[in-house]
Amino acid sequence: MTVEVHSLGCRLNISESESLRGLLRGVSEADGDLVVVNSCAVTAEAVRQTRQTIRRARKERPDARLIVTGCAAEVEREMLAAMPEVDGLVPNTAKLDPRAWNVPAVTAPAERRAYTRGFVQVQNGCDHACTFCVIPQGRGPSRSRSVSEVLHDVAVHLDSGVNEIVLTGVDLTSWASDQGSDLGLDHAGAPRLGALCEAILARFPALPRLRLSSIDGAEVDETLFELLAGEARIMPHVHLSLQHGHDLILKRMKRRHSRADAIGLVSSLRARRPEIAIGADLIAGFPTEDEEAHAANLSILGELQVVHGHVFPYSQRPGTPAARMPQVDPAAIKARAAQLRDRIAEIRASWLAGLIGHPLSVLAERGGKGHAENFAPVRLPAHAQPGALIRVTPARVVEGILES
C-alpha cells in the first residue's frame, strides 16, 4: 500500500500536505493505494492545474483511490465531484481530521521529508472580505493555533536538522492568542504575531533563521515591526499582500490599507534595516482598472523597490463581488501583467547587481543553489549539503542568479 499527496498552491498547502502524509501512514493496508490531490482555487488557472493534476494522477495510478481536498474541493465541489477520475472529496476544513480518512485518532507527526526549510502553519482561514477572493469560501473563518502547538511543530523541524523555519497562514498577521500566559509575556489584549515570533526565538535560541510568508501590512503589530526592523534571526525579507498601488482600486478590493500606508511601512522598515528585501503580490487588470490606475500599480513597484513580485492577472471567481463589476478586456489584463513583471525584473536585476561583493549567508538547497537571508537566489557548488548554511561572496549575476 502506498500513499501519494500532490500539493498545489500556497505554502500553507505545502505545510498541510506534510502533516497529511504523516496522518495517512495510519491508512489500512486493506484500503489499497491512495492518491490525494491537495488542491488550490485562488485563480481559474489554479483550478485548471488542479484538474490537470487529477487527470495525470489517475493516468499514472489507475487502480488507486483518488481523493481531492483543499480549496478547490470547497469552491468547485460539484465540478470536481463530476470528474470520472475522482473517487471522493474531503472538505478542506476536515483534511487533517483522522475521522475523514478513517485512520486512528492519534496525533501523527508530520512526515519530515528532505526539505531544507520547515513550514509551520500558525493560522488558517480569513475573516476579511476582499472582493476578488474565494479563499474564505475554501478555508473558512480565521483560526489561530495555540502557542504550544506552534512550538511543538518548530521543535520537530529543528530535531530533523532544519536551519530555517517559515511561518505560514492564510492571513498570517491575523494570528492572535488568548493564551498570553503561555507566551510568558505581558501583552495588552490578545498577543499578536510579534509575540509569537518572540516566543519562538526565546524557546529556540539556536534557531538561525525565522522567515515569514506573506503578511498584511495593515496587521503588522508594534512588536512584529520591531523584530522585522532589528532582529537578526528574523530574515530581512517582507512579502506584502499589497494587491494594488491605486487607492480607488484598493477600496474596490476592500483592502484595509492605502498606497501611502504601504509606502510608509516599507520606508520605516528600510530606515531601520536598509538591507531588507521587499516582495509583493499584485493583481493586474482588476475590474474598473483604467490606464491611470495601472500606471499607479506600475509606479508603486519602484517606490517600494519590489524585488520579489508575484503578479496575478485578474481572475474572475464565481460568487465574488468583483465578478459583478465592469471587467477589463482580457488582452489588456495580459498586457498589463506583462508590464508589471517586466518592471519587477528591472528592479530585481539592479538589486542583484548591488549584492555583488557583499558576503551572504545562503541556505543550500537541491540542484546546486540556495537562498540568502533576503531570499536572493545564489548558485552553490554541486557538493553543497542541502540544509547547510554557507557563506558566499557573489562575484557576478548569471541568468538572474548570484554566483561566486
Inform me whether the pLDDT recorded for 187 exceeds 70.
Answer: no
Q: Which domains, from first to last, does the chain contain?
A: 3-101 (3.40.50.12160), 118-352 (3.80.30.20), 360-403 (no CATH)
CB atoms within 10 A of CB 99: 8
Note the pLDDT of residue 244: 98
Q: What is each CA distance from 120 to 22, 69, 112, 210, 276, in whole angstroms?
A: 14, 20, 12, 11, 22
pLDDT in tens, 300-351: 999 999 999 999 999 998 889 999 999 999 999 999 999 999 999 999 999 9
d(CA 386, CA 363): 8
Burial of residue 333 (CB within 10 Å: 0-12, 13-18, 19+) is: buried
CA-closest candidate to residue 142, choices 173, 115, 167, 117: 173
- Reported as a single tens digit per residue, the pLDDT across 210-263 is 999 999 999 999 999 999 999 999 999 999 999 999 999 999 999 999 999 999
Cβ neighbours for 262, distance < 8 A, ≥ 6 positions apart: 217, 240, 242, 245, 300, 304
Query: What does pLDDT average to over the chain?
Result: 91
Cβ atoms of 239 and 308 within 8 Å: the answer is: yes
> What is the C-alpha separation between 342 and 315, in angstroms, rounded?
20
DSSP assigned state of 109: P
Write down the pLDDT at residue 139.
86
pLDDT digits (tens, 9 = 90+) for 273-283: 999 999 999 99
pLDDT reading at 152 higher than 70: yes
CA distance 307 to 195: 28
